[in-house]
A and B are shown apart, each in its own frame.
Chain A
Amino acid sequence: MPISSANLTPWQSMSESPVQHETDKRLMELYVSHQDLLYGYIVSLLPNWADAEDIFQQTSLILWEKRDQYDPSRPFIAWAYGIARNVVLNYRRKNPAGNRTLSPDLYAKVEEARTRVGDLLQEQSSALQHCLGRLSSKQRMFVMNCYSRQMTFADLAKQMGLSENAVYLRLSRIRKVLMDCIRRTLRMEDGS
């Protein structure tokens, strides 16, 4: 069972105890506030869920290990992206026949694009919380089951008593509803 990024990272697990060093504390705060962005970056390079979790874990550990090397004058997320990029490249080298990843030629472009739309990504996150709240509890439960699954799509469909295609279509529909809601919410916030 891979360690879930949502329930344990070495940073999160340690943040429960008193932190000795102010620098560590500051860095930990930066990590906590950026971990969703970092995870989003990893997922865009490597969409396989289990792999993305593992890479996220490894990246978190390396960030902690190399915390002394962090230059506070530079943006934390850029530093974290750089380390995640190396971990993914290492993964590709070790698993040439593994799950599909984005071409390394695009990594830098993805980082640039994420920096460009960084504000939007943060706003999208807040809007997503709002829009999830607007789904019916049945829809929310469905999304939760689909996204927190530790099994294949086929197994999930079987467990739900639906065809794989039906689960896929239903999820796509809910995702579209969410996207539309996020767009509307962000427009409203923009006042447009």
Chain B
Amino acid sequence: MSDTPFPAGHSDDELQRLIEAFCEGNISLDDQAQLEKLLDTDTVALEQFVVRMDLDARLRRWSLRASQAETLAGNLTEQTPVSAFFVPDTSSLDPLSHGDQGSVPSWASRGLLGFGGLSTLAWLFVSLLLVAVAWFSWHAWFGGQYAKPNRGGLIAGTVDPEKSRTGLSVTSPSPLAIGHVDRLDSQVIIERDGAKQNAVVGMEILPADSLDVLSGGGMELTLADRSQAKLGPRTMLAFTSAREATLREGFMQIDARSRRESTPLAITTPDAQAQIRDAWLSMGADRKRTQIRVAEGMVVASRRTDGMEVEIPEGYCSTIARAVGPGPRRSVNGTALFVVSAKALHAHEDWERFDQILAERIVGDRLWRSAMPVRMRTYDELQAEDLKDCSLIVLSIFPEKAGVEQKLIDLKVPELTIPIVCLEATGFPVLGMTGPTLGKDFGIGRGPLVVDITAENHPLAAGFVGSQLELFAYGRAPYWWGSPNANAQTIVRLHRNPERCLMFAYDRGEVMVGGIAPARRVGLFMIPRGADFDSPGLELVDAAIDWCLDPNANDAVAWSIDESTSDVARAPTQSQVPTTWQAPAGLRVGRCIGEL
């Protein structure tokens, strides 16, 4: 580093080749060994490596910021003539450009779209003329079928000024359009021809468009055949054509009852492919599984790994994943009400509180990906109206303020004949699931958290067996526990103190500590480990959701444990064999204590 700021000495192509291959993730084992040997023995090579990798990292971060800035720059196109929206000048999106034009897009300063010779007025006239020609052409070609007013009171290709968030103008309908945006909650990004832009109400969807609904957002679409689609938060959907789309992750609800028999819509997810026609369904997908719930009609889906097909009739759902048989099972449809402590993170929250709120987000995410539309309310917002028409209630951690327990009682939540999953220990006595004494009937402890799965074949155990470490929390993080009565089905117990349960449930009609369970009740401690969206404990959340949505909840599940080893055994009630679930094909074993 004498006369050049860069580490000198290694200009050889071989080192560069090795670093490039390492950077791109396609380095061979031999090459990596060679690279590591070089880095170990040659200081200059090591410094070159460090500088090169740092450049790569900074380019990644710049690109992510720039793409976000570009998204924000979509707002600059307010007041923009129609065609400019689809032909963005990228220089105006560059967060690094500090030209004289300031925040004014460069095309604006030199006339419109580079037609410097035309005055703005003349160009507006030409634009309007083009719009009119396209509009009449569309009607001539398609008889205006697609342009009729739809559910949202919109006409495709125009913008309802009251509904448009940006006031952006939109072009006339394109013959290529496969649908349009009906409604937006929060920000949705559309990627088209490699460029990203904000979606607006009325905007057309073209083949090869990718839709990215951000966290907390939502979107409704009408497709060209009048099928309706709703997308949930953190959803990525890419259209290949009017007949094919890929749901990379997230939630999608489709009402395709108008879809003709001959043109099914093929939705591909990481694990499944579904052919949809004349049906109304919800799909949730992530990297590990795809969940499909059919409210009306029939859906044929296949598992992508082996092509195994499953027919999912009305009132059934199927989980399509590698280790699980996709056989359909009955399921309740509808909306899940998720009651949370807060919707925003604040700097003054301590770490534990932060972790709890993060957990709420992750649990909400799992609900959506279980193909359940979610209605989210804070405890402050919760009203009697919210409790109507939902199929499942998930009560998250209570906020740190008095009065939540009383509010739930006032709203008669404990008496609801709707299944409830309660993630808050203080909520257990409110719902009658445990006694009221803190430290005796319910309480808080601190990790490290070793737990025993005490009901290994129960559907709520999600295939976990034996003793587990860090299934829920890590380190010295706090955890909640409850001590239910002997009628409860206890799934997860604290290893050192088996009286204390981290997951337990009462079937409908069971006698709980505080009365008879009016519907299924699950008590579950759930704080994922840090920002871990793949925390294994989350599978217990999925299992609790599925168990609560089982329409056969009236049938007491014949689950019992060995009476000789526990004081909470209960006699089988009806049949000896559960009829509403199947054990997973392969039991998963987490990190067992014996392995530590």
Contact surface of A with B, Cβ cutoff 8 Å = 1-7, 10, 13-20, 24, 36-37, 39-40, 42-44, 47-49, 52, 57-58, 61-62, 64-65, 99-100, 102-103, 105-106, 109-110, 113-114, 116-117, 120-121, 123-125, 128-129, 132-133, 137-138, 140-141, 143-148, 150, 153, 159-160, 168, 172, 175, 178-179, 182-183, 186-187, 190, 192
A127 to chain B: closest CB distance in Å?
9
The interface bits of chain B over 83-120 (1 if a CB of A lies within 8 angstroms of the residue's CB, else 0) are 00000011100101110000000000000000000000
CA distance A186 to B89 in the complex (A): 31
Q: Which of A44, A102, A138, A148 contacts B54 (CB 8 A)?
A: A44
Q: Which of B1, B46, B59, B533 contacts A128 (CB 8 A)?
A: B59
Contact B1 A120 (CB under 8 A): yes
Interface assignment of B68: CB less than 8 Å from any CB of chain A: yes
A1 to chain B: closest CB distance in Å?
6
CA distance A78 to B63 in the complex (A): 26
Contact B91 A137 (CB under 8 A): yes
The interface bits of chain B over 61-75 (1 if a CB of A lies within 8 angstroms of the residue's CB, else 0) are 111111110100000
Given contacts A123-B5, A179-B55, contact A102 B36 (CB under 8 A): yes
Q: Which of A15, A18, A43, A160 contacts B194 (CB 8 A)?
A: A160
Interface residues in B1-43 by Cβ distance below 8 A to A read: 1, 3-7, 20, 22-25, 27, 32, 36, 39-40, 43
Interface assignment of B415: CB less than 8 Å from any CB of chain A: no
Interface assignment of B571: CB less than 8 Å from any CB of chain A: no
Which 5 A-B pairs give the minimum distances between C-beta atoms? A6-B64, A147-B63, A44-B53, A186-B5, A40-B57
- B-side contacts of A18, CB under 8 Å: 347-348
Tally of chain B residues near chain A (CB < 8 A): 66
A-B contact count (CB 8 A): 195
Contact B25 A100 (CB under 8 A): yes
Contact B62 A132 (CB under 8 A): yes
- B-side contacts of A57, CB under 8 Å: 531
A-B contact pairs, 21 of them (CB 8 A): A6-B61, A14-B349, A36-B61, A42-B57, A44-B49, A47-B53, A47-B56, A100-B22, A100-B27, A105-B36, A109-B39, A114-B54, A121-B51, A125-B58, A132-B96, A133-B94, A138-B90, A143-B63, A144-B70, A179-B55, A192-B4
Interface residues in B438-472 by Cβ distance below 8 A to A read: none
Given contacts A183-B6, A187-B4, contact A133 B97 (CB under 8 A): yes
Contact B347 A117 (CB under 8 A): no
A19 to B, closest residue via Cβ: B347
A70 to chain B: closest CB distance in Å?
13
- A-side contacts of B236, CB under 8 Å: 1, 150
Contact B53 A183 (CB under 8 A): no
Given contacts A144-B63, A147-B63, contact A100 B32 (CB under 8 A): yes
Contact B5 A148 (CB under 8 A): no
B348 to A, closest residue via Cβ: A20
Contact B47 A183 (CB under 8 A): no
Contact A14 B347 (CB under 8 A): yes
Contact B68 A141 (CB under 8 A): no
Contact A47 B25 (CB under 8 A): yes
- A-side contacts of B61, CB under 8 Å: 5-6, 36, 39
Contact A183 B50 (CB under 8 A): no
Contact A137 B90 (CB under 8 A): yes
- A-side contacts of B194, CB under 8 Å: 141, 145, 159-160
Contact A148 B39 (CB under 8 A): no
B448 to chain A: closest CB distance in Å?
15
B111 to chain A: closest CB distance in Å?
18
Contact B36 A103 (CB under 8 A): yes
- A-side contacts of B66, CB under 8 Å: 140, 144, 148
Given contacts A47-B23, A100-B25, A160-B194, contact A15 B53 (CB under 8 A): no
Q: Which of A3, A62, A110, A179 contacts B50 (CB 8 A)?
A: A110
- A-side contacts of B49, CB under 8 Å: 44, 110, 113
Q: Which of B25, B59, B96 contacts A147 (CB 8 A)?
A: B59
Interface residues in B204-218 by Cβ distance below 8 A to A read: 208
